[in-house]
Amino acid sequence: MTDVEVFVSSTCPYCPMAVDVVKEAQEKLGNLNIEVINIMDDRTKALEYQIMAVPAIAINGAVEFVGAPTIDQLLEKL
């Protein structure tokens, strides 16, 4: 099982796209454990990962994307 954390903010216009891409990858691969983290609610985790901009996507504890990747870019990393 691969852990994917998507860091978002309610004021971010690009964050829904990042969440959608991760959900699409889950549909294709089926073995993703997805957690969407609103940095306004959970600043501790964002600070732990040193996230300075959203959306950001971490895979198995490592930040791999800042910004919304394409589905192909995400699948390649997964």
Tell me how many domains the chain contains. Answer: 1
Which domain range does residue 66 map to? 2-77
| Structure confidence at residue 32 (pLDDT) | 94
Strand (E) or helix (H) holding 36: strand 32-38
pLDDT over 70, % of the chain: 100
**Looking at residue 33, which CATH number applies to its domain?**
3.40.30.10
| Structure confidence at residue 19 (pLDDT) | 97
What is the pTM (predicted TM-score) of this model? 0.94
What is the maximum alpha-carbon separation in the chain? Answer: 31
Those residues of the chain that have pLDDT short of 50 are none
* Backbone phi and psi for residue 15, each to the nearest 5 degrees, phi listed first: -60, -40
| Structure confidence at residue 38 (pLDDT) | 96
| Structure confidence at residue 42 (pLDDT) | 87
